[in-house]
Amino acid sequence: MNPDGFSGHVPGSRSYRHLIAGLFFAGVATFAQLYSLQAVLPEISTDLGVSAATAALTISAATLGIAAAVIPWSLVADRIGRIPAMAIGIIAATFFGLAAPLSTEITMLLVLRLGEGLALGAVPAVALAYLSEEVHAWHVATAAGSYTAGTTVGGLSGRLIAGPLGEAFDWRVGVWSVTLLCTVAAVLFLWLVPRARRFVPGRLRADAGPGLLTRLVAALRSPRLLALYAQGFLLMGAFVAVYNYLGFHLIAPPFLLPVWVVTLLFLAYLAGTVSSPWAGVLAARHGRRIVLLGAIGLFVSGAALMLVPVSVVILVGLVIFTAGFFGAHAIASSWAPILADPESRAQAPSLYYFAYYAGSSVFGWALGLVFGHAGWGWFLTAVIAMGCIAALIAMMLLRSPCAKHP
């Protein structure tokens, strides 16, 4: 598998910088497209004549596509290579992204968003497996934090571009503009990312190893891996729901904020840009479990602050909530391939992202029903409960059996 003795890229090297920059742009290309519609959900609701929860299905459809696609994409990547798989997915997603704003009714939009999610699934399915193979083992957590920072920049830029342009012109103009940004980011990804040196595609190996079912079973039999999947399912579900419905909450009484001001709240994503690599550094020093629990504590605290009916306090709570989420996600997502057996190293992060985006799809819609029928207070109570359950699972199942997996 590694005849030249290459042990992985290390910080300070030119190849490491290119790898981090390339995956940073892959994160931008993926997550700007995925979440750009979140900034224009009120406009979509009005234009297509649907409820807030139905408009939010445009996010759930895309994340459902990713959830369904991550495992097939991991199989494709095992056959053709990590970088080609990510490249195919990003290019295909760009075409769906250009077509989606042409929709004139909600069903068409949901179908195109589902296709976009199916294509975008290539990046989260493969990126962390690529990182775990190509970066020196001592620096995987830090590198994964940098990649996660790129996903936060992508999510933020997509929202900040689509929101103001959607209000000034039309939500379709905003979404198209984001797709153009993603095209540029995809080109930069393909240009910068180094070739794989520690992976041989299955089609070139004399022994392709165990089959997909065997690898999936291996990635499902560990209680510690199941605990990580639960983190993604619960925390991501709650996180997406807050960003889906916060805008509806703040444009209504007693706040009555204009849409462009609400769009600026997405700047809270910058907290995730900072917390993701910081969490990786802290995990390398103090252990993943304690940092994960600390990040979940921030997540729950921020959600609790958003119960206060004062816009400034809600903003502070949103920043803390966002920092906690991305810190926890950076730890959990990078931990999955480390805990997995070598033969299931691609499948473990794929299963993590399956749970992650399944949570987004389910709770991004279901918590909207809570918001619509019971109000913001009960909605946030559900979010806080999900964070507490995630912390309890981590405390019970992620105790380290040895120093190898802190």
Q: Are 16 and 135 in contact (CB under 8 A)?
A: yes
Query: pLDDT at position 1, please?
Result: 46
Query: pLDDT at position 378, please?
Result: 96
Amino acid, res. 285? R
What is the residue-wise DSSP string for 136-186? Answer: -GGGHHHHHHHHHHHHHHHHHHHHHHHHHHHHHT-HHHHHHHHHHHHHHHH
Question: Phi, psi at residue 368, to the nearest 5°?
Answer: -65, -35
Query: pLDDT at position 157, please?
Result: 86
Question: Could you give the angle at the alpha carbon of 68 between the alpha carbons of 71 and 361, nearest 5°?
Answer: 130
Distance of CA 138 to the CA centre of its chain: 23
Q: Pick from 156, 180, 174: which is nearest to 32 by CA?
A: 156
Q: Pick from 273, 326, 265, 329: which is nearest to 154 by CA?
A: 273
Query: pLDDT at position 207, please?
Result: 40
pTM score, two decimals? 0.76
Contacts of 253 (CB under 8 A, 6+ apart): none
What is the residue-wise DSSP string for 46-68? Answer: HHHT--HHHHHHHHHHHHHHHHH
- Regions of the chain short of the pLDDT cut 70: 1-12, 137, 139, 141-142, 196-212, 341-346, 400-406
Round to whole Å and give the CA distance between 209 and 212. Answer: 9
Query: pLDDT at position 65, please?
Result: 92
